[in-house]
Structure 1
């Protein structure tokens, strides 16, 4: 496998470290005055979920792992994990709780997601920039609070709690930014 200089890595890239496939979860290039630049990054092993915090000089390299990305439809969750089905081959792919991580808050049955594969094994999912979800619980807005941009907590169909404007109620469909769980607007 080819080596990649650590300075070219970014969040979401796959590398091999200690003979394990790992995903870069945090990356920062630091250039202190009168010193050589270095890379501070965190990588998470896919098999165990163990996190390594690495500090490497900008000219060091790690072995890169080729990632494949294929669309799959989320089917259901059970004791084995999260089940995704390939839309053409109908092959069932199971991802563990560890592999799915915080993305579980955005998984809606029947929706398509991008499943990542490394060395032929399913390792995780990529979420779209935003997801449309239905509000299941939202308290009534307090009359007179509409003069300011006042928000309230609303629970969505997956259990995710998002801050929404006062006019949003149960049954409304809203668009949520997956990067930071923020409300983007109403949806049809």
Structure 2
């Protein structure tokens, strides 16, 4: 668990059970009252962007994510298949989830894939 003062760009947090990445974080100290942190966060699953505000000292859950080195294998339909270089497991990733990154894929390309709850995001 982290506090609102720990919010920084690229920190992965958990909001309502979904993983988000902090895109922008600004601490604001008004002339009167306690400070707060204004953040812009992006949902790692849907891509939706939200603006959120946390009061100073408020607790925030961190998302338990993992980055794995994977190798791009092939495309089948709208799915792109990647192989974990340590376990040799193959994972299909939906083309919609990948966005513009699909334009840069070539066979046997080594990439880093972010996982949340054992699923690539």
Q: Is the 8 A contact 2:12 2:63 kept in 1?
A: yes
Quick one: higher RCO (CA 8 Å, sep 6+), 1 or 2?
Answer: 2
Gaps of 5+ in 1: 124-188
1:42 matched to which residue of 2?
40
* Shift in alpha-carbon separation, 1:115–1:9, aligned structure 2, 3 A: same
- Cα shift at 1:32: 4.4
Deviates more, 1:106-115 or 1:96-105: 96-105
SS at match of 1:90: coil
Q: Does 1:26 align with 2:15?
A: no
* Shift in alpha-carbon separation, 1:12–1:75, aligned structure 2, 3 A: farther
Gaps of 5+ in 2: none
Q: Does 1:58 align with 2:56?
A: yes
Please, what is the CA RMSD of the aligned residues? 2.4
SS at match of 2:99: helix
1:67 to 65, 68, 75: 65
> Between Structure 1 and Structure 2, whose CA radius of gyration is higher?
1
**Aligned residue-pair number:** 120
- Cα shift at 1:8: 1.5
Q: Is the 8 A contact 1:80 1:94 kept in 2?
A: no
1:181 matched to which residue of 2?
none
SS at match of 2:51: strand
* Shift in alpha-carbon separation, 1:98–1:34, aligned structure 2, 3 A: farther
Alignment map for 1:156-171 (pairs within 5 Å): none
- Cα shift at 1:14: 2.4
- Cα shift at 1:102: 3.9
* Shift in alpha-carbon separation, 1:28–1:88, aligned structure 2, 3 A: closer
Q: TM-score, structure 2 length as denominator? A: 0.77
Q: Is the 8 A contact 1:46 1:99 kept in 2?
A: no
- Cα shift at 1:33: 5.2
- Cα shift at 1:71: 0.5
- Cα shift at 1:91: 1.2
1:152 matched to which residue of 2?
none
